[in-house]
Structure 1
Amino acid sequence: MAFQRLWGSLQVLLMVLAVMTSGAAAAFTNGFEGVKAGSELRLVWEAVEERYYPLCVTAQMIQKGSDGVSATVYKANVTSAVNGTSYVWKGVPFPLNHVADGMYQLEIHPAAMTGSHPQLLAKSPFFEVGKMESGNTDSKSDKPSTPGNNQSGNAASNVNKPLAIGLGVAIGVPSVVALVLVGWCFRRRRRRTVMEKRRRTRRDFVID
């Protein structure tokens, strides 16, 4: 039973890892360090073929559950009318809400291609969004993320799809794999120790 639970956890991890490392035709060239809520972030990416224009920039946020195991993904379109290799993202992380421990990521898809798995043209690394700068009174970006608040005024087709994940990917896939394996080995070793003590107790009782 323990092995089955471990195998199920590893399968979920492999699926999450596949999503995180899926290939893209281009890449973002700007940095994502020190991003603050409510600020402007100039997004720059490598050139893609014009036949994919206009481009849709999609943001997603992964929020770890209170149980420390589950996680929820929220997605929303930042814009769906980009013709070029740059875009100024205002009010970061709008239209998503700001969550202090959330992990954010951006993707670029052809706006004309719809469906559950549109062609991926570019994907950013995961990054954090820090607390809004002092003096910024925009409280919208500092509210907890909820499905009902993921709205985008400038997107042609908003994406509002919370997705439950079986393991907290925000803490890092390698770390989760290590923790699962260590925990399983520890439980197995502890069970063997308990069984060995019982055998010794029974043997000593018979000898006496």
Structure 2
Amino acid sequence: MEMAEDHRDTMARNRAENSKRSRYRGSSASHGRCHFGPIPLLATVFFLQLTAPGHAAEFTQTFSGLTKDADLALEWGGIDVRYAPLTIHAVVVNRTGDENRANVFRRDLAVGIQGTSWVWKSMPSPLPYLATGQYQVEIRTEARANTTAGSAPPLLPKSPYFSIMKVKSLQPTGNPGAALPSPASDSGGSGRPSNKTISLAVGIVVTLVVLLLAGASCLCWRRRYLRAKRTKKRENKFDVVIH
């Protein structure tokens, strides 16, 4: 009898301790106490490293004040060599009369680039020149096989949209809106006649001198002719009287 009672007391104590432990575990979970072991924590860090985006490469020059037929030196950095060779791609977007539509032209400017610079000669060739067009240059990788599965693709340089202007016509300093004076015009306010005016004046003077000399020669010849004629008449008259 005593052994049976001791066995029942032992079982009752065990049940009481188990109920206390279960209540303690429930209260810890209700307070949001969550502890990661070493293995789940390392796995989480490794996953974050795989899914984190790579370092963004950028162009180092600006894209403002560009003119047609000029050269643009492109330079960039921060691209891993395993993504070489590179392709330089350009696009121009030109809005049409319809606000919801636009004409888009794309071209590869260069392929197989290994370095960190390239010169775009005679912009925007081979793209068409559009005065109202918006241009953009970007670098693409040709090494698709080097991108491992599950890793983020590299962030390659891409320029903002920019416009290309025609070469401005030369204007006189001081007043950009004033028209250039014609070199053939005689500006009275300049204080000095133009070359054409001087040549014209010299031509007129030479012509007048030639005409005056010709007139004087004709006048002298006429006087000599009349004098000789009168002398001959006198001689004939004297001959008649003597006979």
TM-score range (shorter-chain normalised) is 0.3 to 0.5
> TM-score, normalising length from structure 2?
0.41
Q: Which has the higher helix share?
A: 2
Where relative contact order (Cα < 8 A, 6+ residues apart) is larger, the structure is: 1
Q: TM-score, normalised by structure 1?
A: 0.48
Computing the radius of gyration from Cα coordinates, the structure with the larger value is 2
